[in-house]
Amino acid sequence: MISLKGKKALITGASSGFGADFADILAKKGMDLVITARREEKLNALKESIVEKYGVKVRVIVMDLSGFGAAEKLYSEVKDDNIDMLINNAGYGMYDWFERQDAAKLDKMVQLNVVSAFVLANLFAKDFSAKNSGWILNVASFAAFNPTPFYAVYGATKAFLMNFSVAIRTELKKCGKNVCVTALCPGFTATEFVERAGQKRSKLLEMMIGRSYPAAEEAINGLLKNKPIVMPRFINRFAAFFLRFLPRSIAADAAFMSIRDKD
């Protein structure tokens, strides 16, 4: 069993959902934390709760990682903190017909979901390689396995993250580095994601939705075992396996029918 007591994790997008779950799970394992997101009030409330429950050290950094150069700025703030684990959780989706979406807003989403994630991974991979120890968890999505109408750009960002994670994990492993990299690919989960994306919760979606905390625990356990991909819940793993045998156009048609708002 790997001991994390006394080590330190940086968690982006920590104010709610998976980010808050990761913070609780890692603090319970004895890790000190650096938590960052845009919402200062929620971060401070999370810090207070975690310190009270687990007695670990928690540093709050309020930052919007969707801005140009934000990842480098965050790294410069924490590079002397001896970070042992990077949780690239910050990200969001935008639901609508692609032609109706605003290009500037899509660009901002890509900056957060993709650019900030790989920049942070690059900077910390250097540090982790130098000390031959470290963990990187990138939060992707089930959408990474399938063309996803109405989430066309979001799905593409998550496909990037999944393939990127497996690629750099392979590089580090082949170089004999003791650095673990895992992509978490959850399906629809009970977080703020759907509401923020602008999608209505259909009856089908309500049937498919899972809980975030067990998925977060599974992700951390998978990361500690250096699994390339963690996909919580059998229904998601079965669907991803089945998608391998469908032409991508048919898979996209199926996604269109299941995701489209009926109103």
Give buried/exposed letters for 217-247 (b at 16+ CB in 10 A, else e): bbbbebbbeebbbbbbbeebeebbeebeeee
- Cβ atoms of residues 38 and 13 within 8 Å: no
Each residue's pLDDT tens digit, 192-240 = 555 555 556 555 555 555 578 899 999 999 999 999 999 877 565 556 5
Low-confidence ranges of the chain (pLDDT < 70): 1, 187-210, 234-243, 245-246, 248, 251-263
CA distance 62 to 158: 24
Q: Which amino acid appears at position 97 of this protein?
A: W
pLDDT number for residue 180:
98
User: What is this structure's pTM?
Assistant: 0.87
What the chain holds in terms of domains, given with CATH numbers, is 8-259 (3.40.50.720)
- Cβ proximity of 197 and 22 under 8 Å: no
Residue 124: predicted pLDDT: 98
Long-range own/partner contacts, residues 198-202 (CB < 8 A, 24 or more apart): 198/94, 198/95, 198/96, 199/95, 199/150, 199/259, 199/261, 200/261, 200/263, 202/261, 202/262
User: Which positions are annotated as active-site residues?
Assistant: 154, 158
Q: Which amino acid is at 28?
A: K
Residue type, 160: F
Reference 216, options 208, 224, 205; nearest CA is: 224
Nearest C-alpha neighbor of 132 from the set 180, 171, 183, 167: 180
The order of strands in the sheet holding 8-12 is 58-62, 32-37, 8-12, 85-88, 134-139, 179-184, 229-230
According to the model, what pLDDT value does residue 88 have?
98
Say what the pLDDT of residue 7 is.
97
Cα separation values, 36 from 10, 26, 42, 59, 74, Å: 8, 15, 10, 9, 9
What's the pLDDT score for residue 171? 97
Tell me how far CA of residue 243 lies from CA of 27, 144, 177, 251, 254, in angstroms.
Answer: 37, 11, 33, 7, 10
* Per-residue model confidence (pLDDT) at position 182: 98
